[in-house]
Structure 1
């Protein structure tokens, strides 16, 4: 492995087990292999380095590799950024700490019995699939947890939830909510991949696709009924198909947007939520999981996108409420989800759980 000596800790991008880890200079604006979230997490790691609190650790940053790592030990910390199956990594008991976007606990987010619909049925099926897929990791983790306690070795590594952050969010001057051009805005995909004709998904759809189709249909009807409001829609080919020009346009329009609608993706938690929050948009979302950085967040949650027209109209006709939600959104980003705060959270967890182990400095100099 190539060691980056300029840093107090070593950082590697680890794509999958059949590839070698790639040394990552977290200050490089163009990493050797760019996951969708490296811009945000590079700044998280920079905050860790700037603090000078921890040193001598090896950070593996992976997208969804939950089976193997290049090495293990009490100096290894893992960040899993893109596993939307909510799985517990098989190696969790062999490393110092695991930090995971999306987490390990899925939510149903609807009531298919009280509100029967194709969308809620598919959501239930997806939820059950996630539970089944997660069984091996859950059994493995709790077996090692029991074994450690039985042998008097203490508890094994907890798995910590962390926010997704943003894909690529420019640092733009915050615009006053009243002066923004767009009343509401959505840019994104409805179907990000084509399924073969024999797949049920090609006929029935997915929770993401059905939810977004309903949201877009509702927004179009809202604009027809209320032409005085400016609704901006841009349907793209997929999250990973954005060009750098798309990113600039997306950021600039988002900063010029009053209300950001946040439909679910494959999971309920999406980068759009944090991008809108960072820019001080008023956020309208579907169900959200219970996380330390989401509990109490200043968002408006809806059960059905058909509720959206009434919510939009009420918000846009209440300038005081819009200004209040705008400020709360900015403050929540700054206090709960910003790179510096997440970096401090990581340091705090490493300090609390593993302070005093030989070979790793976890105390301030």
Structure 2
């Protein structure tokens, strides 16, 4: 497959970048970055490293050692296993997930981004959206606390489970075996809430994106490892009011209008409050649209990256 990117944008093997699911997002971002950097854009080589499942913390990473005109971008590292600190010979390192140091460090935050389908739909006018609350996704161990709010499990507490991943996984497997309900169309009037038995077995990408674009509130629970997920970026881009677990305190989330719940037992009361107060709901939507434009859009991220890349002491 031919790359859709400029010749100075490569993968970690040095080959032309093929981004697959994030192609739309990254293509738009690099177009904005080229516009910001102008003639300087061609001076730099952008190395995009996709963390793979076999890559674990402490493993040897076969990656170009870097240099003063090389920029490293690490994506898909939900486990935060990639040792970014070992690659500060690059001019700058941008890393998705977690809360990179920034400031005097060469390691800075990078967007998780969105998948292609969510980048190719446009949001429905907020007052015309037909879905009040939307979630569709795999019932992993970090989403069991959300599931319990729609299907009470008598042998589990309503509040959040222990953070111990093994306890969570045992509880998830037990719930998977002894509870059969996965779809809750009547839990919230006008809502679409459904859990699946594995990743990617829910709505088709295009249908998922269209439903999200037509939703007022998006529930964005944690992924397999991280509280930070592609769902947040897709929902913000499409102007949904986002309800989430606590997120990393980086520039994309600090002081954002995302509602961050420390305990998922507060989910339904929060949703009901918003739906019963249309002015508050709409104000939160407008704040999300504004936040996307000034902090998370491709242009906003390109502005932020360009300033860091051209800093004399980078």
Q: TM-score range by the shorter chain?
A: 0.7 to 0.9
Match of 1:11 in 2: 9
Match of 2:228 in 1: 269
Match of 1:304 in 2: 263
Q: 2:138 aligns with which of 186, 189, 193?
A: 189
State how far apart, in whole Å, the 1-side matches of 2:50 and 2:187 are.
42
Match of 1:162 in 2: 110
**Which SS does the other structure have where 1:233 is aligned?**
strand
Match of 2:158 in 1: none
State how far apart, in whole Å, the 2-side matches of 1:95 and 1:262 are.
33
Q: How many residues are treated as equivalent by the alignment?
A: 270
In structure 2, do the counterparts of structure 1 residues 227 and 301 end up closer, same or farther at CA, with 3 Å as the change threshold? closer
| 1:22 has 2:12 as partner | no
**Which SS does the other structure have where 2:124 is aligned?**
coil
1:247-326 matches, within 5 Å, as 247-265=205-223, 266-326=225-285
TM-fit CA distance, 1:220: 4.7
State how far apart, in whole Å, the 2-side matches of 1:225 and 1:234 are.
8
Checking the alignment, whether the CA contact within 8 Å between 1:79 and 1:99 is kept in structure 2 is yes
| 1:73 has 2:71 as partner | no
State how far apart, in whole Å, the 2-side matches of 1:326 and 1:90 are.
37
Checking the alignment, whether the CA contact within 8 Å between 1:188 and 1:234 is kept in structure 2 is yes
Give the TM-score taking structure 1 as reference length.
0.66
Match of 1:340 in 2: 299
**Which SS does the other structure have where 1:83 is aligned?**
coil
**Which SS does the other structure have where 1:85 is aligned?**
coil
Alignment deviations for residues 55-103 of structure 1 (CA, whole Å, 9 cap, x no partner): 2211110112782313522121100012233353254232111000014
In structure 2, do the counterparts of structure 1 residues 354 and 281 end up closer, same or farther at CA, with 3 Å as the change threshold? same
In structure 2, do the counterparts of structure 1 residues 271 and 342 end up closer, same or farther at CA, with 3 Å as the change threshold? same
Match of 1:45 in 2: 30
> What root-mean-square deviation, in Å, do the aligned CA atoms of Structure 1 and Structure 2 show?
3.1
Match of 1:55 in 2: 42
Alignment deviations for residues 165-199 of structure 1 (CA, whole Å, 9 cap, x no partner): 212223434323232111111112123xxxxxxxx
In structure 2, do the counterparts of structure 1 residues 349 and 308 end up closer, same or farther at CA, with 3 Å as the change threshold? same
1:95-110 matches, within 5 Å, as 95-103=90-98
Gaps of 5+ in 2: 153-182
Gaps of 5+ in 1: 15-19, 25-30, 107-154, 192-208, 356-365
Of structures 1 and 2, the larger Rg is shown by: 1
Checking the alignment, whether the CA contact within 8 Å between 1:11 and 1:61 is kept in structure 2 is yes
| 1:229 has 2:160 as partner | no
Alignment deviations for residues 252-307 of structure 1 (CA, whole Å, 9 cap, x no partner): 00011111011111111111111111111111111111101211100212122111
In structure 2, do the counterparts of structure 1 residues 242 and 334 end up closer, same or farther at CA, with 3 Å as the change threshold? farther
State how far apart, in whole Å, the 2-side matches of 1:42 and 1:228 are.
37
In structure 2, do the counterparts of structure 1 residues 237 and 166 end up closer, same or farther at CA, with 3 Å as the change threshold? farther
